[in-house]
Chain A
Amino acid sequence: MTPPSRFDEPWQAQLFALTVAMSEAGHFTWARWAEAFGATLKAMGTDRLLDGGADYYAAWLTTLEGLLDRSGHAPVDEAAATKAAWERAYLATPHGQPVQLPG
């Protein structure tokens, strides 16, 4: 039996693992991560109070995208193009088939 996930949605878990894996692989220190994440939370929290759930992981994602853009590991243009490629792949794949990127 599988215990209930500690994340509300699978992408949050994937995002968490991706970030920890990047840090553990030495691409950024956890202190640098925390500083950048803290800055995003502060900026987002000026408009409204964050509830620590979905908006927390939205801030997490924005932070990681920004860090990886600045470091050159995943520039925004490349990230946007890859996202668009995944969208096309989903829309072109019959339901029930595995979705894959061409090439």
Chain B
Amino acid sequence: MRRPFGRCILDSGFGAPHDAPMPHDHPDHPHSLLPSDPALRVKALETILVRKGLVDPAAMDEILDTYERKVGPHLGAKVVARAWSDPAFRDRLLADATAAIAELGISGRQGEHVVAVENTPDTHNMVVCTLCSCYPWPLLGIPPAWYKSDAYRARAVREPRKVLAEFGVSLPDGQKVRVWDSTAEVRYLVVPMRPEGSEGLDEAALSDLVSRDSMIGTGLAGASK
């Protein structure tokens, strides 16, 4: 359900829509609390675009619902667990990840291609977006703040091993690190190595071993999430 424009943008997240005003007294604030400058600027843009019929408020609600509630690293973990369990799926994933994840009902909204890169004893893969913050949204949801920070974006390419060490990941000397720079068109998913001792686990149990960071390459599967 679409909330009216007039709702107080300060009062909550996007949880429970409420049309009724919150009853409480603020003798010092006879008028409604003024939202922050950026909140008002966003509201202004939204007002203009909706008035002109350029965006549909229902489409915005659907997008929020998707990214706040439905999409997240659990989807990427499902893909990785399937790849670990099903060699044919793994081959399809590495050959054409966009098509392979579609088999599981996962697809990008912006026509972006997903490319899966598999960690091996020889090569550890790690993903960054040096331009802005391109990220495999359909598989991992909204990126964490560190992924969007200048520090990570600059250093992941320049000194990946040092960055990995800060994430608590130390790799054997012989294992190369390969850094993939995402773009608006191509988003990378790291398929981490299957942890030792995980033989015999089913896909659901396996997916519990796959952390978000392990699919960005700043963590290893089986480590604490």
Which residues of A pack against B, CB within 8 Å?
2-7, 9-11, 13-18, 20-25, 27, 29-31, 33-35, 37-38, 41, 45, 49-53, 56-58, 61, 64-65, 68, 73-74, 78-80, 82-83, 86-87, 89-101
Find out whether the CB atom of A5 lies under 8 angstroms from the CB atom of B14: yes
How far, in angstroms, from A33 to B9 measured CA to CA in the complex?
A: 25
Could you tell me the distance in whole angstroms from the C-beta of B47 to the nearest C-beta in chain A? Answer: 5
Find out whether the CB atom of B9 lies under 8 angstroms from the CB atom of A34: no
How far, in angstroms, from A49 to B43 measured CA to CA in the complex?
A: 28
Residues from chain A with Cβ under 8 Å of B88 in the complex? none
Find out whether the CB atom of B45 lies under 8 angstroms from the CB atom of A93: no
How far, in angstroms, from A97 to B23 measured CA to CA in the complex?
A: 9
Find out whether the CB atom of B21 lies under 8 angstroms from the CB atom of A30: no
Known: A86-B43, A90-B32. 11 other contacts (CB 8 A): A14-B46, A20-B110, A22-B55, A24-B63, A30-B184, A34-B131, A52-B133, A52-B149, A80-B44, A86-B44, A95-B29
Q: Interface stretch among B114-122, B140-148, B160-168, B189-197? A: B140-148
Q: Interface size of B by Cβ–Cβ distance < 8 Å?
A: 73
Find out whether the CB atom of B16 lies under 8 angstroms from the CB atom of A2: yes
Tell whether A10 pairs with B14 under 8 Å between CB atoms, given A16-B67, A79-B41. yes
* B2 at interface by CB-CB < 8 Å: no
* B224 at interface by CB-CB < 8 Å: no
Residues from chain A with Cβ under 8 Å of B47 in the complex? 82, 86, 101
Find out whether the CB atom of B21 lies under 8 angstroms from the CB atom of A97: yes
Find out whether the CB atom of B35 lies under 8 angstroms from the CB atom of A90: yes
How far, in angstroms, from A41 to B133 measured CA to CA in the complex?
A: 10
How far, in angstroms, from A88 to B56 measured CA to CA in the complex?
A: 25
How far, in angstroms, from A4 to B142 measured CA to CA in the complex?
A: 13
Find out whether the CB atom of B68 lies under 8 angstroms from the CB atom of A5: yes
How far, in angstroms, from A56 to B38 measured CA to CA in the complex?
A: 12
Residues from chain A with Cβ under 8 Å of B54 in the complex? 22, 25, 27, 73
| Nearest B residue to A32, CB-CB | B184
Residues from chain B with Cβ under 8 Å of A10 in the complex? 9-10, 12-14, 39
* B174 at interface by CB-CB < 8 Å: no
Q: In residues 104-139 of chain B, which contact A (Cβ within 8 Å)?
A: 109-112, 131-134
Residues from chain B with Cβ under 8 Å of A51 in the complex? 145, 149-150
How far, in angstroms, from A61 to B4 measured CA to CA in the complex?
A: 22
- Interface CB pairs A-B, < 8 A, 30: A6-B68, A7-B13, A10-B10, A14-B46, A18-B45, A22-B49, A25-B55, A25-B59, A30-B110, A30-B111, A34-B184, A35-B184, A51-B149, A52-B144, A52-B150, A56-B145, A68-B45, A74-B44, A74-B45, A79-B44, A79-B45, A80-B44, A82-B45, A82-B47, A90-B32, A95-B29, A95-B33, A98-B6, A99-B6, A101-B47
